[in-house]
Structure 1
């Protein structure tokens, strides 16, 4: 489904579509309908979990969609519906970005302050959200963490996008969470960088000033090779498609990768910082 199709179908709640498709697939399974208990046994989960999914009570557990595709032989349908449901849970400002990200063939990330969402661990996300929303309840925190982690599914697909990440060195030294959690986050960063589709580079603290120095920027390349520039600030997000701005952003990103440490040197620096946290 293209972005235009998704926007045209925005009146249909993706979470409810997921619930209806799950119930329909269960009832049409084989020669006899599956009960919720029967499906739960096949998925190695509880009947109450299946009931909550089919009645739209709470978030969908991230492990369930690929298992549904396996049981029903639906070739990734439930995974796609799950991604759409997660995207719909984000504020309107971010939904187009989520749609672009899901369809991307290449994603370039720059972050001056934090590990980008695609590479965050659950505990890192939890501390981020609790710091930003100290009055949030446990359910709200859990829902936010699940939504954030669901974005990482695109890295595990059959045709993952090429992901290029440049982080300011300060990201490695910003310890807003306990040392053991930050250490695991850095280990996850190293693991991500070892994937053939992901490259992680660190921009040294003494690198020259640049256009993106104050804010995180993501450049997303579509299957048609058009590039959109996503910029985020406090409770705002913008997507820029103007060709002149995109060219400037691409040139700036190339300069960042040129000034950054190589992927191998960056991995060594991340590993050294991990050792300091033991």
Structure 2
């Protein structure tokens, strides 16, 4: 099941198209910009009760559909209260990601100079949040652990991680040896314990020109696949034609990457001197 916000947007888009209205035309009917309608349909923003009722009226929705939308929006509003609390400790882009990750059927993550959040060990998490200047690390640490439960909560999903070899060497040489060793041990544990998790390294000698970080999420039919580029303040999403560019980027990286077995050997080799 998709998140409530995305399901609301998909349902509204479906009925707008049934009414043969463009986003701009619907926007005119409800005194709203076309860009706002696009964000609502894409699940990128929430809806106040009065705004939803205005759209329901403009689309002349059947009573049962209107009731379903109002119920979903009520659930979404209660979740939003929790998210507003989390926003004090988590960047805005992060709020919806755990729900999307639990719904996905395939997640592909590329990180050029760091370790993906889903792969973080506790010590590495703590070092990252301390470096970012968090006064209270308990909540962000808990959020990250909750996010990592996705490996158990979504067993149908394939998790594919590509990391640059330099990200591993940066880990080894920039952190305390025991933290780096713990992080490498955690990644090896994920490889050995989850058939759904694949980690591959892109070697130094690979000649590939791509963005430094992005994640592609795929879903069952009915929910749009998207890619997001992660940073502290924003997470721009791309669909359709733009997604194809990232698909080609991923294919180039995957072709250059070590196979899973060789990656495991390299991770174990990098860990060995840290545990002597």
TM-score band w.r.t. shorter chain? 0.5 to 0.7
Instruction: Note the residue ranges of structure 2 that are not aligned, 5 or more in a row.
Output: 7-45, 47-72
Deviation at 1:185, TM superposition (A): 0.6
Distance 2:267 2:2 in 1: 38
Aligned to 1:275: 272
* Alignment coverage as a number of residue pairs: 205
Aligned residue for 2:209, secondary structure, equals coil
> CA offset at residue 143 of structure 1?
1.2
Change (3 A) 1:122 1:15: farther
Query: Is the CA contact (8 Å cut-off) linking 2:177 and 2:274 kept in structure 1?
Result: yes
Q: Which has the larger helix fraction? A: 2
Query: Which stretches of structure 1, 4 residues or longer, exceed 6 Å deviation after superposition?
Result: 85-89
Aligned equivalent of 2:131:
131
What TM-score does the superposition give when structure 2 sets the normalisation length? 0.67
1:99-178 equivalences under 5 Å are: 99-133=99-133, 136-137=134-135, 140-157=136-153, 159-174=155-170, 175-178=173-176
Q: Against the structure 1 CA distance between its residues 267 and 258, is the aligned structure 2 distance closer, same or farther, given a 3 Å change threshold?
A: same
Give the TM-score taking structure 1 as reference length: 0.67
Q: Which has the larger radius of gyration?
A: 2
Shift in alpha-carbon separation, 1:162–1:86, aligned structure 2, 3 A? farther
Q: How does 1:207-226 map to 2 (within 5 A)?
A: 207-212=206-211, 215-224=212-221, 226=224
- Alpha-carbon shift at residue 91 of structure 1 (Å): 3.8
1:1-278 equivalence runs, <5 A = 2-5=2-5, 7=46, 8=73, 9-13=75-79, 90-133=90-133, 136-137=134-135, 140-157=136-153, 159-174=155-170, 175-194=173-192, 195-212=194-211, 215-224=212-221, 226-241=224-239, 243-278=240-275
CA pair 127-88 structure 1, distance change in 2 beyond 3 A: closer
In structure 2, how many angstroms separate the alpha carbons of the residues matched to 1:15 and 1:123? 30
Task: Name stretches of at least 5 consecutive residues in structure 1 with no aligned partner.
Answer: 17-82
